Each structure stands twice: as structure tokens, then as C-alpha cells.
């Protein structure tokens, strides 16, 4: 008796799920997991009807990645790069110069085209091609989500990039992607690059409104 009832319940659930997932094109874009590796996907925000509120919530979620140390260490507002989850000053000290470091102490003197594990101890030296500091104008370490949002919408500070360019950059840029393969001894940013790209796209589609604050 119990077994039959369980089977019926399972069948009913399958039917319900099938009915719920039929939906329009829009529904299909929002199918799939609500969360990936600690980062909510656009689907998790789909039931916020007000565009402003949905855009603000989507941006807050994007900020969890963009303000994460894996990104922010390369996006300081002043001074040189920082290191680690506590974002301490780069050791050895290096200066920005044109983003590549000082002559004789350029980033690529130490940072190669991929991460290299330390031979003698835990950890690694990060790498990507090219490994270079973000321009000071594009620095946002220590910013609030609202400040970061305003900055990304200010063409004076984005090098003329549009919001559509931002979708592309967050979704495919190789230095952005490094944050999920940061090498031994480093925690990766939450989510994955595809989810960051999807959140950025959904934020722009909702009008690109910023969170308050």
C-alpha cells in the first residue's frame, strides 16, 4: 500500500515538474539551477517583478564576485596590487607604472602565462597572458556595490565601454576567468564565469539600475 502511494506521489511530482517547465521562451532562459558554487543565478531573481528592484538585486549578486579579493587585488583604486584574501600589499612591493610594473620589475618578470605552484612550499604564483594591473580609473577595491555600479556606468571611467561590452568582458575575458582557476593555495571567486556573465546580462536587460546606498 505504502509503496503504491509513494509511486503515485513520484509520478505526480514528475507531472507537476513537466507542467511547470513547459513555459515560454523567457521561462526557458531562466531554467536551471538557482545557485552555482555559492552564487545565485538570474533564475533566483526571476520572480522580482519590479525592474529596478530586480536589477539592484542582480547587481548585488554580481558584486559578490567583482568585489571578491580574486578580482579586487588587481583592481586597486590607488597604489599597487594586493595579495591574498586579506588583500595585503603585494610582497615584494611593486608599483603600478603603466600597469605592467616598473622597468626591471615588470609583472611578467615573475608572473608567467599560467599559475605555477611553488616548489618548496604550499601555494603558487598566479599567471595569465598577459598578467597586468587594471588601470587606476577602473579600480574599485573597497567600494560598495552602489559605488561600483555607478562607476561601471560612467563612460569616463570605463574607457568608453558600454554595458553590452561589460556583459562580454565579464562573460569571456581571460583575467576575469582566472578568478575561478586561481592556482594552488587560493580560494576561487563564488560561482563561475558563465554565471557572472549571465547575471551581468540579466542586470543590463532589467535596465542596469543600481542598488541604493
How many residues at the interface with ligand HEC, by CB under 6 A?
44
CA–CA separation, 108 and 110 (whole Å): 5
| The Cα angle at residue 101 between residues 96 and 105, in degrees rounded to 5 | 140
C-beta of 78: minimal distance to ligand HEC in Å?
A: 14
- Scanning 1-9, 25-33, 38-46, 102-110 for contacts with ligand HEC by CB under 6 A, the matching segment is 102-110
Give the one residue of 11, 109, 117, 172 binding ligand HEC; rule: CB under 6 A.
Answer: 109
CB-facing half-sphere around the CA of 15: CA atoms within 13 A: 6
Minimum distance from CB of 159 to ligand HEC (Å)?
A: 5
- Indicate which single residue of 40, 58, 90, 127 sits in contact with ligand HEC (rule: CB under 6 A): 90
Is 132 a residue that touches ligand HEC (CB under 6 A)? yes
Non-local (6+) Cβ contacts of 211 within 8 A are 56, 57, 59, 60, 145, 146, 149
Q: Which is nearer to ligand HEC, 12 or 117 (CB)?
A: 117
Residue 167 within binding range of ligand HEC, rule CB under 6 A: no
Residue 157 has a CB neighbour count (10 Å cut-off) of 17
Amino acid at each position: 500500500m505504502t509503496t503504491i502511494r509513494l509511486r503515485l506521489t513520484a509520478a505526480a511530482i514528475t507531472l507537476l515538474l513537466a507542467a511547470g517547465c513547459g513555459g515560454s521562451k523567457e521561462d526557458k532562459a531562466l531554467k536551471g539551477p538557482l545557485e552555482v558554487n555559492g552564487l545565485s543565478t538570474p533564475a533566483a531573481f526571476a520572480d522580482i517583478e519590479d525592474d529596478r528592484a530586480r536589477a539592484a538585486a542582480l547587481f548585488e549578486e554580481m558584486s559578490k564576485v567583482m568585489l571578491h579579493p580574486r578580482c579586487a587585488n588587481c583592481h586597486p583604486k590607488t597604489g599597487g596590487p594586493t595579495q591574498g584574501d586579506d588583500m595585503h600589499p603585494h610582497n615584494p612591493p611593486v608599483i603600478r607604472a603603466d600597469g605592467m610594473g616598473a622597468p626591471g620589475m615588470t609583472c611578467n618578470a615573475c608572473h608567467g602565462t599560467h599559475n605555477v605552484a611553488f616548489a618548496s612550499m604550499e601555494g603558487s604564483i598566479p599567471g595569465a597572458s598577459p598578467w597586468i594591473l587594471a588601470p587606476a580609473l577602473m579600480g574599485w577595491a573597497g567600494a560598495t556595490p552602489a559605488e561600483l555600479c555607478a562607476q561601471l556606468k560612467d563612460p569616463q571611467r570605463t574607457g568608453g565601454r558600454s554595458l553590452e561590452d561589460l556583459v562580454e568582458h565579464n562573460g569571456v575575458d581571460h583575467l576575469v576567468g582566472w578568478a575561478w582557476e586561481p592556482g594552488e593555495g587560493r580560494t576561487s571567486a563564488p560561482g563561475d564565469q558563465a554565471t557572472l556573465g549571465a547575471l551581468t546580462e540579466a542586470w543590463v536587460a532589467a535596465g542596469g539600475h543600481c542598488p541604493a546606498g
